[in-house]
Structure 1
């Protein structure tokens, strides 16, 4: 699992049948200090995240298992909304 911040939404009116009803979000990967750590990418949303939320996500085969229909062609799926991040007992940031 990795961290990212939701920075936008993606609208796709035509998708493969297994993604019908699945929201797509644009997310920016974060490092352990919650700083940007890469280029934004599209992820499926399985937990009703929104713009500004810090989320954790899965990639690869595991990303497909988090969706209602398994084994659809996706690269990343958001699996949770982060409330707080601490490193070595120190609070780094909050998703709230």
Structure 2
């Protein structure tokens, strides 16, 4: 798991079929001290995170496949929690 800040939404006119109905957000991974860690990423979200929220990301492929109920998915990052 890694913390990240939500910077905005991403839209696609065409999506891979397994991604239909999923929101895509632009997130910036964070270091322990809160500074940016690398480049922004795209992550799927079904929790309703918004711009400015700090979220928890997972890169666990098995968890993402289970969450999406799809064995064939191009998704690597998924939001699994929103920090209070």
TM-score by length of 2: 0.87
Equivalents in 2 of 1:5, 1:65: separation in Å? Answer: 24
TM-fit CA distance, 1:13: 1.9
Q: What stretches of structure 2 of length at least 5 have no aligned partner?
A: none
Spell out structure 1 runs of 4+ moving beyond 4 A: none
> Which deviates more from structure 2 when the two are superposed, residues 56-65 or residues 19-28?
56-65
Larger Rg: 1
Partner of 2:70: 70
Partner of 1:14: 14
**Residues 55-94 of structure 1: matches in 2 within 5 Å?**
55-61=55-61, 62-67=63-68, 69-71=69-71, 72-83=73-84
Greater strand proportion: 1
Equivalents in 2 of 1:54, 1:31: separation in Å? Answer: 12
Partner of 1:34: 34
CA RMSD of aligned residues (A): 1.3
Q: What stretches of structure 1 of length at least 5 have no aligned partner?
A: 84-96
Partner of 1:25: 25
- Could you say what secondary structure the match of 1:55 adopts? strand
Higher RCO, Cα 8 Å, sep 6+: 2
